[in-house]
Amino acid sequence: MAVSQNRYDVIVIGAGVAGLVCGNYLVRKGKKVLIAEHGKQVGGNIQGIWRKGYFFDAGSQSTENVGILFPILQELGLYKAEEWDRADWRWMTPDCDVVLRDFPQIRSDFKKYFPESASDIDAWFDFIEPGCNFMKEMMGDYPFPLLKRGMEKLRLNIKLTKVGMSMLKLMPETMRKSGSEKAREIFRDPRLAFLFGEFGNENMLLFMHYSFWYSFLYDYVYPRGGLVALANMLADSFKEKGGEIKLSCTVDKILTSGDTAIGVETSEGEKYYAEKIVNTGNPRRLVTQMCDPALFPKKYYSMMKDSPVSIAVITAFLGLDMDDRELADKLKTHHIIYWRTYGTSMDIYDPELHRKNWAMISWVSMHDKSLAPPDKNSIIVQVPMPYDWLNGWGTGSSDPLARNEDYKKLKNRVLDDIIEDMEYVAPGIAKKIEYKELATPRTLARYTLNPQGSIMGWSYDMYQTPLFGRFGRFTTPIKNLYMAGHYSVWPGGIVFSALTGKLVADGIYEGFSKVLLW
């Protein structure tokens, strides 16, 4: 094939949310765009799988709007309100069981279970509730300012400044302190200090607790068709506008001329050339394998190579011969988080670790009955687990492609244990399982190339993320090579990955200072 036929204006590496959003904005600017995707389908962390008539999300289980996702879809002409359902939450521990509906009910229910800590519970929510209401007014009523330009951005920033005036006294603390620290200050009961201060993310910035509680009560959503429906919708729109997607196309090398990116080379030896390259995936692989490390300053190289990433999870896919009435009586909500113990561990030597960390249960087919056979349902159970658990999941290797009999036996044991532990949440469910399968952190790493099978980008620990103190990092030391997606912005996630797709699509041609500031 002639080089001219392999030439594009922009090559985007990765067909996850960030890559698909970026590609959609670029083709609407009239650019010739190629999206190169390692996997066999689009979606990245929101891929989905079908097994014997049951649909399962293979990565993330829900998303939020927060004034970002829906406005982006509206700009692209892809938003339909009827295609999105609320994904409500329930928290369980050995000591309590609380559905998260509204603050008065939540306060009352937790005080019922922990009457000796009633004053501490009130103190915590007296602190959290105003911040949550601030987030609700800020994110619920207005689009995120970075989505807009010029005077409209200025007007939004002025409105949000007025909204936030009541929070000024709290801002220094909430932007410098972790939720873990604040909870330990308030709660004398260490169980509650853990439960409210961490809920799975140690040392998460206190300000982010406002955002999480806002999302728990008002903003977690789930699309009809599963999360992969979002990816498929973006991919179809991109291709309709003239964009090109190549699946099973792994970019192994960034082609450079001096310190400037000029194209990519795939694992099959194919070369594609472009004026701009946007990487939306694994930053460690980018600096250690895809580029000449000498092109990166030592500090940048070390930061991308050594900074800790977010947690990895195991995912149990369970197809249930159970109708809505019976399952609703057991699960109640779309999501349940169940803490077996008041702690989160990543001890790679603990053979029972999968039975000690929190578990998140998601009722995939709760609203969309096409996601399971008639009168049956799909659910998912996720538990944080290390990528290197028990000697690399029995493989003795760090290679996500490594498989052996020990790996298979370990997967089967863990899956059986998860099903047994589900009896605490939904008694009798084990006898109703028609289909079962387990994905490990290595499964996700194999399909997405995420380092260590991470699910959210960099660590949520404010003391460890390389992006703490800055919104994002979209440029690289290599000219015309840009970053979008989970690892370009903190705290990552589906919504902020989508935001980076738009910002990078605009910024690589207009300049990031202009896009971010005006």
Tens digits of residue pLDDT in 253-312 = 999 999 999 999 999 999 999 999 999 999 999 999 999 999 999 999 999 999 999 999
pLDDT of residue 207: 86
pLDDT score of 241 more than 70: yes
Q: Report the percentage of the chain scoring pLDDT > 70.
A: 97
Please indicate whether residue 168 or residue 371 has the higher confidence score (pLDDT).
Answer: 371
Please indicate whether residue 175 or residue 235 has the higher confidence score (pLDDT).
Answer: 235
Give the amino acid at 273: Y
Q: Residue 234: pLDDT band by 50, 70, 90 thresholds? A: very high
Looking at 3.40.50.1950, 3.40.1350.10, 3.30.1330.90, 3.50.50.60, the CATH number of the domain 3-46+227-307+460-517 comes to 3.50.50.60
| Residues sharing a CB contact under 8 Å with residue 218, sequence separation 6 or more, in sequence order | 136, 140
Q: Residue 135: pLDDT band by 50, 70, 90 thresholds? A: confident
**Domains of the chain by residue range:** 3-46+227-307+460-517, 106-204, 313-453
pTM of the model: 0.95
| Residues sharing a CB contact under 8 Å with residue 431, sequence separation 6 or more, in sequence order | none
pLDDT of residue 155: 83
Find the mean pLDDT for residues 479-506: 94
pLDDT of residue 2: 44
pLDDT of residue 136: 81
- Nearest by Cα to 42 from 226, 230, 177, 200: 230
Span 322-353, pLDDT tens digits: 999 999 999 999 999 999 999 888 899 999 99
Q: Residue 54: pLDDT band by 50, 70, 90 thresholds? A: very high
Find the mean pLDDT for residues 204-231: 93
| Domains 3-46+227-307+460-517 and 313-453 agree in fold | no
pLDDT of residue 145: 82
- Third-level CATH fold of 313-453: Polyamine Oxidase; Chain A, domain 2 (3.90.660)
pLDDT score of 1 more than 60: no
pLDDT score of 75 more than 80: yes
187/197 Cα distance (integer angstroms): 9
Q: Indicate the SS3 state at residue 260.
A: strand
159/145 Cα distance (integer angstroms): 10
Find the mean pLDDT for residues 126-135: 88
Residue-averaged pLDDT of the chain:
93
241/76 Cα distance (integer angstroms): 11
Q: What is the DSSP letter of 189?
A: S
pLDDT score of 200 more than 70: no
pLDDT score of 180 more than 70: yes
pLDDT score of 478 more than 90: yes
Span 418-455, pLDDT tens digits: 999 999 999 999 999 999 999 999 999 999 999 999 99
Q: Residue 187: pLDDT band by 50, 70, 90 thresholds? A: very high
Find the mean pLDDT for residues 101-107: 97
pLDDT score of 163 more than 70: no
pLDDT of residue 123: 97
501/42 Cα distance (integer angstroms): 15
